Structure 1
Amino acid sequence: MDSLTQIVLGAAVGEVVLGKKLGNKAMLYGAIAGTIPDFDVFASYFTDTVSALAIHRGFTHSIVFSVLFAPIFGWLVSRYETYKNFKDWSWLFFWSFVTHPILDAHTTWGTQLFWPFDLRLAFKNIFVIDPLYTIPFLVFLILAMREKRTSTKRRFYNTMGLLISTSYLALTLVLKWISYSKFEAALDTQNIAYLDIDTRPSPLNTILWSANVQTEEAYLLGNYSFFDSQPITFDSYPKNHELLGHLIEDESVKRMIAITEGWYTITKQNDSLYFNDLRFGLLSLTPKSENFVFKYRLDIDASGNFTFNEAPKDSRDGKKLLTELWQRIKGN
């Protein structure tokens, strides 16, 4: 999830663990702890694109990280804070650390919660930024902050924030199941034979859902809104995996295919090959658009090594997408 959401979650968890004893200071440390797992993003400054993608939401988003580093941070804080209980501080950091990847596991990218095992949890039932999850949570956290640390209202507000956010997260799982059923029914009605289907919510909401459907030669992309009145339609995107040729044996290509779990297409533009990650869809709802959210040009660097370079994005595409989403959410 986005940084604000993780800060709010971490602060609420900090309040649960040490709020009675430390008041807002518990929220502060919980908020700080809630952002620490995302420090893995700095890997992009020190390594290649593929390695950075593999590292992202890996070790720092695991139970192992939470167990190993919670006592370390707990010990450090207990050394300089007036409240010296090492065990309490360790619990605060542990729960703030571990709830971060548990929440991230519900997004499209997912997390390697059980690192070092090669298993990425990605339930894909909530977008990385969802106002309906974050805003009520934030409001109740602010209300709790305004109360004295011993106040029953403070605990009530914090508990309500956690309950409402968790209930909404559970609701998104139900919405995902309903939308998945709609996509399955549409494929059956249209007599489309498929190998696999993958669904996710569109940006900023859980009303409009997107599906990637794998067939023998292509991927079909479709959208469904709970306000739709017309049948679901699918746009076909050829896999073109054969365009990779001998590059399919390159270790970087193999790693990228593993990262995308096989949901990718290859396109050729101006004699350059592009690797398109289908998991995050398109920056446009225009039929047959090739403007994928994550698109990488395959290059050879000065040392002769094979590299992936992310294609630049145009800020106008984001604004256009928001307009298209709003129209599409209202139904087809």
Structure 2
Amino acid sequence: MDPVTQGVLGATLPQSTAKAKTLVGATVIGGIAGMTPDLDVLIRSSTDPLLFLEFHRQFTHSLLFIPIGGLVCGWLLHWLLGRRLRLSLKQSLLFATLGYATHALLDACTTYGTLLLWPLSDQRFAWNTVSIIDPLFTLPLLVLLLFGLVRRNPRCAQLGVVWALCYLSLGALQRERAEAAGWQLAQARGHVPVRLEAKPTFANLWLWKLVYETDQHFYVDAVRVLGQPKVYPGDRLRKLEVVRDFPWLDQHSQQARDIARFHWFSNGYVAVDDQHRVVDVRYSLVPNQIKPLWGIVLNPRADADAHVAYFTERDNSPQARAAFWTLLTGQDQAPVKGMTDK
């Protein structure tokens, strides 16, 4: 999630365990430690544009790395801040480890994918229960955290922990409702999906992006699950088949290996939306559209050892924002009646 939320949750858990005299120190140390795992974004390469995709949410986000990350953060933060905040080294280590531990688990609740079991597994865990930015989750946590600081009372943070668990549980419930609507939609279209996922859209738990896969296509729709589920029409795109879509590509080239890397990062939700662009169909601002936020571009004239190019796109146009708002607020739009493969 965003750094602010990671810091707030990272501070909340240690504060909930602290006594009055250590509460400020627990909040500061835990908050900083809670943001630290995202320092992996600094791992980049000027020659390999996909390197950061492999390392972000990798070893620093592994459950096995939590004790190491907590100890390193705790030791450094103790000498920088902990002594001034009247914490013992043991307390600094404890509060830092608690703060650090919240980070990967919260990231796994989003849609991006987190390598919780690295190095034992390269599976990207994405539980799809909360948007990567959600003020409805963050602001109550922040208010309770600040109240706890002012009152020097850990009960406010304890309420914050309860709030976080309840909100994420509600997200899981809403995800199940959205996916149930997605399966009904696919059945109405005469499809038997290979897999289907629902992902929360920006800053809410009632408008969801549906993505499901058939033998030939990816289908993208939106569903609003505030009250009776309402499904909105979407797009479809043919699945990537490297040999068919890029017949000129040397399968032993670096670009072919980069396609495989991007395929892993995108959990297989990849398609060609332009002659030489491979995109991640899971993300778009308007949930029933396929307007990818990122992807890779191949070059037919590149050398065998040349990497692909990586691109990002953000459609923040007034039209896109208006379309998102229409779906978010449930304004009239005819639900999908049915669709079949062509």
Aligned letter for 2:160?
Answer: G
Q: Aligned in 2, Cα 1:65/1:240: closer, same or farther, shift over 3 Å? A: closer
Give, in whole Å, the separation in 1 of the partners of 2:325 and 2:34.
31
Q: Aligned in 2, Cα 1:247/1:292: closer, same or farther, shift over 3 Å? A: farther
Unpaired runs of at least 5, structure 1: none
Question: What are the within-5 Å matches in structure 2 for residues 202-241 of structure 1?
Answer: 202-227=201-226, 232-241=232-241
Cα distance, 1:304 vs structure 2: 5.4
Cα distance, 1:185 vs structure 2: 1.1
Matched, 1:265 2:268: no
Task: Identify the residue that residue 336 of structure 2 maps to in structure 1.
Answer: none
**Alignment check: 8 A CA contact 1:197 1:213 kept:** yes
**Alignment check: 8 A CA contact 1:37 1:61 kept:** yes
Q: CA offsets, 1:25-49, max 9 Å, x none?
A: 3211111111100001111356622
Task: Identify the residue that residue 133 of structure 1 maps to in structure 2.
Answer: 137
Task: Identify the residue that residue 27 of structure 1 maps to in structure 2.
Answer: 27
Identity of aligned residues (%): 24
Q: Aligned in 2, Cα 1:64/1:145: closer, same or farther, shift over 3 Å? A: same
Task: Identify the residue that residue 71 of structure 1 maps to in structure 2.
Answer: 71
Question: What are the within-5 Å matches in structure 2 for residues 4-19 of structure 1?
Answer: 4-19=4-19
Cα distance, 1:103 vs structure 2: 0.6
Q: Find the residue that maps to 1:6 and give its secondary structure.
A: helix
**Alignment check: 8 A CA contact 1:62 1:98 kept:** no
Q: Aligned in 2, Cα 1:247/1:172: closer, same or farther, shift over 3 Å? A: farther
**Alignment check: 8 A CA contact 2:223 2:230 kept:** no
Cα distance, 1:11 vs structure 2: 1.3
**Alignment check: 8 A CA contact 2:221 2:231 kept:** no
Cα distance, 1:15 vs structure 2: 1.2
Give, in whole Å, the separation in 2 of the partners of 1:111 and 1:166.
19
Task: Identify the residue that residue 185 of structure 1 maps to in structure 2.
Answer: 184
Aligned equivalent of 1:143, options 142, 147, 160? 147
Task: Identify the residue that residue 124 of structure 2 maps to in structure 1.
Answer: 120
Give, in whole Å, the separation in 2 of the partners of 1:77 and 1:329.
42
Cα distance, 1:295 vs structure 2: 2.5
Give, in whole Å, the separation in 1 of the partners of 2:107 and 2:66.
14
Q: Aligned in 2, Cα 1:204/1:5: closer, same or farther, shift over 3 Å? A: same
Task: Identify the residue that residue 103 of structure 1 maps to in structure 2.
Answer: 106
Paired residues in the alignment total 320
Aligned letter for 1:222?
Answer: D
TM-score, normalised on structure 1?
Answer: 0.87
Task: Identify the residue that residue 243 of structure 1 maps to in structure 2.
Answer: 245
Cα distance, 1:309 vs structure 2: 2.5
- What is the CA RMSD across the aligned residues, in angstroms? 2.4
Give the structure, 1 or 2, with the largest relative contact order (CA under 8 Å, sep 6 or more): 2
Q: Find the residue that maps to 1:66 and give its secondary structure.
A: helix
Give, in whole Å, the separation in 2 of the partners of 1:89 and 1:229.
47
Q: CA offsets, 1:178-234, max 9 Å, x none?
A: 111111111112222321112101111111111111111111111101256765534
**Alignment check: 8 A CA contact 1:301 1:307 kept:** no
**Alignment check: 8 A CA contact 2:108 2:125 kept:** yes
Q: Aligned in 2, Cα 1:300/1:99: closer, same or farther, shift over 3 Å? A: farther
Task: Identify the residue that residue 93 of structure 1 maps to in structure 2.
Answer: 96
Aligned letter for 2:273?
Answer: T
Structure having the higher helix fraction is 1
Between 201-210 and 220-229, the greater mean CA deviation after superposition = 220-229
Task: Identify the residue that residue 53 of structure 2 maps to in structure 1.
Answer: 53
